[in-house]
Structure 1
Amino acid sequence: MLKVTNLKKSFDGRQILDDVNFTVEDGNILTIVGPSGAGKTTLLRCITGLEAADSGTFTIDGKEFNPQDLTSADNVMGVVFQDFNLFPHLSVLENLTLAPTLVLKQERKVAETKARELLKQLGLKGKEQLYPYQLSGGQKQRVAIARALAMQPKILCYDEPTSALDPNLRDEVANLILSLKAQGVTQLVVTHDMEFAKKIADSMLKVQALDQQN
């Protein structure tokens, strides 16, 4: 279980997050929704340690957790970035297998088999040997999703995972996320797509820009 308590974050004197509280049970999906500028991505970045929170506590399975402590964060958080962050000099298959072989110490054949399965699920069969510059934006995003899944994280976080995909592929991503739920993976999804959010969510956290609240 992930529990976030009294999370606060400001930039240049502007309060972005003010006493945010939520709990995600093991194996459940929390969607974080709200308008642009409301702090959805900032919240995700604080949870994953990419931004330092001004204050607040993070608890995983009853133990306080510092997302910025890389030692304690190992094998806990996986992140699917909106801007992909793929290695440009590696093929699709190499992007997916690099971390599992180096960090998880998987045998290369095992890592490649799992990577190919993920690529097939995401409609990318046959793209294994292509490089990121040869892919469309939607294809890059699906590779980024597959790469995060390949690390088998305890908690998987997505920043707008469907933003570059057509409706059919959004459904595939939703089905993949729900299949991971069936496997017990806890997931947090930042999205502006309310229909997508409702389809996958066990619970929903709605955030609003603080200067719009009354």
Structure 2
Amino acid sequence: MLTVKNLYKEFDNRPILKDISFTLKDGEIMTIVGPSGAGKTTLLRIIAGLEDKDSSEILIDGQQYDSGKVGVVFQEYNLFPNLNVLQNITLAPIEVLKESKEAAEKNARDLLKQLQMTGREKQYPYELSGGQKQRVAIARALAMKPKILCYDEPTSALDPNLRKEVEKMILNLKKSGLTQLIITHDLQFAENVADQMLKVQPLSEA
């Protein structure tokens, strides 16, 4: 369970996020919606440990926050162009988690099967569609065994049919017990997948 209490963040003495509090239970999906400039991506980056907060209490399962338990799927996917699909997924588990190559590859193949990407193991990012790159990015994040998976605008560059596929994929991951946090401009998509929705608005100039 993720607990955020009274999150506050400012840039150049201007508040970006103020008094943000929520609880996300294990296995639930939360969508965070709001217009550009509302601080949605900043909130995600703080939860992922990529941005410092100015003040807040953030807990995972009631314990001191550990950003290593949070995975992120970025809007640009950030795949390594010189590595094939299997190598993209196994690099961090081998280097960071110290998994054996055999164990990391087995887990990667299992994840690719779960995400309907079997047979793409040897392809490179330039050979994949946007939707396929996104699935590889999700598999790469899941390979690190996070408790919580965050997405930054997962439907932003997708047509309506692919948006439905993303909805289905996220709901299937929920069935496996994965806790998910999603930043999105897409209100309909947010309503379709969310157990709870957090709406944020830009703060007025101080």
Is TM more than 0.5 here? yes
DSSP-derived class of the 2:155 partner = coil
User: In the TM superposition, what is the alpha-carbon distance from 1:120 to its structure 2 partner?
Assistant: 4.6
Q: Which residue of 2 aligns with 1:184?
A: 177
**Residues 122 and 172 in structure 1, CA contact (< 8 A), matched pair in contact too:** no
Would you say 1:165 and 2:195 are equivalent positions? Answer: no
C-alpha separation in 1, matches of 2:112 and 2:161: 16
1:198 aligns with 2:177: no
AA partner of residue 16 (structure 1): I
Structure 2: tracts of 5 or more residues without a match: none
Residue 97 of structure 1 contacts residue 108 of structure 1 at CA under 8 Å; is this kept in 2?
A: yes
Question: CA, structure 1 residues 162+101, in 2 after alignment: closer, same or farther (shift >3 Å)?
Answer: same
* 8 Å CA contact 1:138, 1:164 repeated in 2: no
Deviation for aligned residue 1:131: 2.0
AA at the equivalent of 1:44: L
Of the structure 1 ranges 152-161 and 203-212, higher mean CA displacement relative to structure 2 is found in 203-212
State whether residues 47 and 67 of structure 2, in contact with CA within 8 Å, keep that contact through their aligned partners in structure 1: no
- TM-score of the two chains, using structure 1 as the length reference: 0.86
1:125-150 CA deviation, whole Å, 9 max, x = no partner?
Answer: 44322222333444333321221122
In the TM superposition, what is the alpha-carbon distance from 1:91 to its structure 2 partner?
0.8
Q: Which residue is 2:56 aligned to? A: 56
Residue aligning to 1:68: none
Range with bigger deviation, 95-104 or 46-55: 95-104
Deviation larger for 55-64 or 197-206: 55-64
The alpha carbon displacement at 1:210 in A equals 1.0
Aligned to 1:69: none
Identify unmatched segments of 5+ residues in structure 1. 66-71
- For residues 163 and 172 of structure 1, the distance between their equivalents in structure 2, rounded to whole angstroms, comes to 13
Return the alpha-carbon distance in structure 2 between the equivalents of residues 176 and 137 of structure 1: 15
Q: Number of residues paired by the alignment?
A: 205
Kept in 2, the 8 Å contact 1:90–1:131? The answer is: yes
> Which letter does structure 2 place at the counterpart of 1:57?
E
Give the match for residue 2 of structure 2: 2
